[in-house]
Amino acid sequence: MPGLITMDDLTNEEIISILDDAERLLPIAYGERYLPLLRGRILGNLFFEPSTRTRMSFETAMKRLGGDVINLGDVKNSSVVKGETLYDTIQMIDGYSDIIAMRHPRQGAAQYAADACKVPILNGGDGAGHHPTQTMLDLFTIRQAHGKLENLRVVLAGDLRYGRTAHSLSHALVRFGCKVIFASPKSLSMPTEIIADIVRQGGDVEETEDLLSEINQADVIYMTRIQKERFPDEDEYLKVADAYKLHARDLDDAKSEMIIMHPLPRVEEIHPSVDETRYARYFQQAFNGVVTRMSLMCWLLGVGVPGDVIAASEVIA
């Protein structure tokens, strides 16, 4: 059964179609109207790693569309602690649900799960590997702000070595002709194999350690957290923990239409002063996870989104 494990599972045309469906579903995501397209369907949420936005947005997306959700819950309270293998867990949830959203600390786990079950798998993050549903909501947010995805100048900053969101997004952006600038400390630079792959795709990329010098040319600045939990050595983490801190005063010469994004949670890399500027888009970005995942689940389950959602839905009193 097809799923979404990496962005390579989608053509550019499919990406645009899913984003178009998401745009039409916005009134449903906002809770203004009700359209039970997924009534009778069950989403299995398997989160083997902590998550707030991804897990809750998947739940909200399914419930807004009239479906139900079952959760693995705290791994410490599951059969995983008894030694149950990932294969057996997936086989079990495969029988309980119609579609599965999964996050796992091991890179490649999502593909392994997809090979082991019959229902579609949505990769909600596999270690430092891929996070395609985050990429889709990121693309939706960029298009929402700029009206297009093509030929933008996008700066990805922070932890590019371990940051799966940056890995997936950079691959997608170059497919739409974007110029991608990787801003990071050398120890957290984008893995060479990912850069090589992007270049093979014909992507236009640059690397820098100087984030501030890129601000006035950027259409999008995508900040990421330095991920302490990915570091095998805490001393190495402390060396780069405060590498970048974006303040409102740094944005004086930015383009008026530039946006600042962040997959969240943030720590100190975006100062609260940025929240009040016109550039801040990260909380809207987090909400967009609901509508984009609604569209993705409809697509994977073969449920069409009406061309006129307003006419097909009911007003919520």
Q: Which residues are catalytic?
A: 53-54, 82, 103, 131
Distance CA 198, CA 196 (A): 5
Specify whether the CB–CB gap between 222 and 169 falls below 8 A.
yes
Q: DSSP string of 94-119?
A: HHH-SEEEEEESSTTHHHHHHHH-SS
Q: Which helix (H) or strand (E) holds 222?
A: strand 220-223
Residue 146 CA: distances (Å) to CA of 22, 42, 67, 149: 16, 35, 32, 7
- CB–CB of 258/222 below 8 Å? no
- At residue 277, φ and ψ (nearest 5 deg) are -90, 165
* 287 and 28 Cβ atoms separated by less than 8 Å: no
Instruction: Tell me which residue of 155, 148, 189 sits closest to 170, measured CA to CA.
Output: 155
Q: What DSSP character marks residue 251?
A: G
Token look-up 């999964």 returns: 102
Please give the Cα distance from 266 to 100 (Å, whole number).
Answer: 27
CA separation for the pair 124, 234 (Å, rounded): 26
